[in-house]
Structure 1
Amino acid sequence: MNIRGRALITSLALAWLSHAVVAQQITVAAAADLQSAMQDLVARFEKQTNKTVKVIYGSSGNFFQQIQNGAPFDMFFSANVDYPKQLESAGLTMPGTYYQYARGKIVVWVPKDSKIDLSTGLKALLDPNVRKIAIANPLHAPYGQAALSAMKKEGVYEEAKDKFVLGESISQTASFILSGSADIAVMALSLALSPNMKDGGQYVVIPADEYPPINQACVVLSSSKDKALAQRFLSYIKGPEAARVLTAFGFDVSGRDQK
Structure 2
Amino acid sequence: MNGRSQVALILLAICLGSLFSCTQHSDKKLRIATAANMQFAIQQLTADFTARTGIECELVISSSGKLTAQIKEGAPYDLFVAADMNYPQAIYEAGFAQQKPEVYAYGKLVLWSYNNNSLPLLRMLTDSTINHIAIANPRTAPYGSAAIAVLNTQKLYDSISHKLVFGESISQTNQFITSGAADIGFTALAVVKSTNLKNKGNWAVIDPGLYDPIAQGVVILKRDKKSEKDAQAFYSYLFSAEGQNILKDFGYSVDE
Q: What's the TM-score, normalizing by structure 2?
A: 0.92
**1: CA distance between counterparts of 2:27 and 2:87?**
28
Q: Structure 2: which 5+ runs fail to align?
A: none
Corresponding letter in the other structure for 1:79: A
The residue number in structure 2 matching 1:20 is: 25
Residues 228-257 of structure 1 show CA distances to partners (whole Å, capped at 9, x for unaligned) of: 0110010000111111111110111113xx
Change in Cα spacing, 1:127 to 1:197, as seen in structure 2 (3 Å) is: farther
Flag the structure with larger Rg. 2
The residue number in structure 2 matching 1:231 is: 232
Corresponding letter in the other structure for 2:253: D
- Alignment map for 1:135-150 (pairs within 5 Å): 135-150=135-150
The residue number in structure 2 matching 1:127 is: 127
Percent identity between matched residues is 36
Are positions 1:84 and 2:88 aligned together? Answer: yes
Corresponding letter in the other structure for 1:107: V
The residue number in structure 2 matching 1:102 is: 105
Do 1:123 and 1:154's aligned partners in 2 also have CA atoms closer than 8 Å?
A: no
The residue number in structure 2 matching 1:249 is: 250
**1: CA distance between counterparts of 2:174 and 2:127?**
20
Q: What's the TM-score, normalizing by structure 1?
A: 0.91
The residue number in structure 2 matching 1:152 is: 152
**1: CA distance between counterparts of 2:56 and 2:37?**
21
Residues 82-138 of structure 1 show CA distances to partners (whole Å, capped at 9, x for unaligned) of: 111111111101136x22101111011112x426652xx322211221000000011
Are positions 1:213 and 2:213 aligned together? Answer: yes
User: Displacement, 1:52?
Assistant: 0.4
Do 1:105 and 1:188's aligned partners in 2 also have CA atoms closer than 8 Å?
A: yes
Do 2:134 and 2:186's aligned partners in 1 also have CA atoms closer than 8 Å?
A: yes
Secondary structure of 1:131's aligned partner: coil
The residue number in structure 2 matching 1:38 is: 42
- Alignment map for 1:168-187 (pairs within 5 Å): 168-187=168-187
**1: CA distance between counterparts of 2:202 and 2:172?**
18
**1: CA distance between counterparts of 2:31 and 2:122?**
37
What do you get for the CA RMSD once the two structures are aligned? 1.6
Secondary structure of 1:71's aligned partner: coil
Aligned residue pair count: 250
User: Displacement, 1:174?
Assistant: 0.6
The residue number in structure 2 matching 1:51 is: 55
Q: Structure 1: which 5+ runs fail to align?
A: none
Do 1:116 and 1:127's aligned partners in 2 also have CA atoms closer than 8 Å?
A: no
Secondary structure of 1:226's aligned partner: helix
Do 1:117 and 1:127's aligned partners in 2 also have CA atoms closer than 8 Å?
A: no
Do 2:192 and 2:200's aligned partners in 1 also have CA atoms closer than 8 Å?
A: no
